Amino acid sequence: MGKQTTTKKKLVEAARDLFWTRGYSNVSVRDIAGAAGADPALVSRYFGGKRALFEATLADIGPWDALSAKRDDLLHAAVASFSHPFDPQKDQANPFTMLVTNVIDPEIGNDIRDLVQTGLADPLAERLGGADAEDQAAMLLAVLFGVALMRKNFQLPALSGAASEDITAMTTCLAEAALRFGDASETA
Partner DNA sequence: TTTGAAAGTCAACAACTGTTGACAAAAAAC
Partner DNA sequence: GTTTTTTGTCAACAGTTGTTGACTTTCAAA
Min CB(181)–a copy of itself separation in Å:
6
State the distance between the two ends of the chain, measured CA to CA, in whole angstroms. Answer: 48
Residue 49 binds which entry of DNA, a copy of itself, none, with Cβ cut-offs from 5 to 8 Å by kind?
A: DNA
Of the pair 48, 146, the CB lying nearest a copy of itself is at: 146
Of the pair 13, 31, the CB lying nearest DNA is at: 31
How far is Cα 160 from Cα 167, in angstroms, rounded to an integer? 9
Min CB(50)–a copy of itself separation in Å:
15
Residue 108 binds which entry of a copy of itself, DNA, none, with Cβ cut-offs from 5 to 8 Å by kind?
A: none
Q: What is the 3-state secondary structure (H, E, C) of 100-164?
A: HHHCCCCCCHHHHHHHHHHHHHHHHHHHHCCCCHHHHHHHHHHHHHHHHHHHHHCCCHHHHCCCH
Of the pair 46, 121, the CB lying nearest a copy of itself is at: 121
How far is Cα 117 from Cα 123, in angstroms, rounded to an integer? 9
Please report, as ranges, the residues that interact with a copy of itself according to CB under 8 A. Answer: 22-23, 25-26, 99-101, 103-106, 112-113, 116-117, 121, 125, 134-135, 137-139, 141-147, 149-150, 153-159, 162, 166, 170-171, 173-174, 177-178, 181
Min CB(124)–a copy of itself separation in Å:
11
| Helix 7-22 × helix 29-36 angle, to 10° | 130
Residue 101 binds which entry of DNA, a copy of itself, none, with Cβ cut-offs from 5 to 8 Å by kind?
A: a copy of itself
Residues 42, 11: contact at Cβ < 8 Å? yes
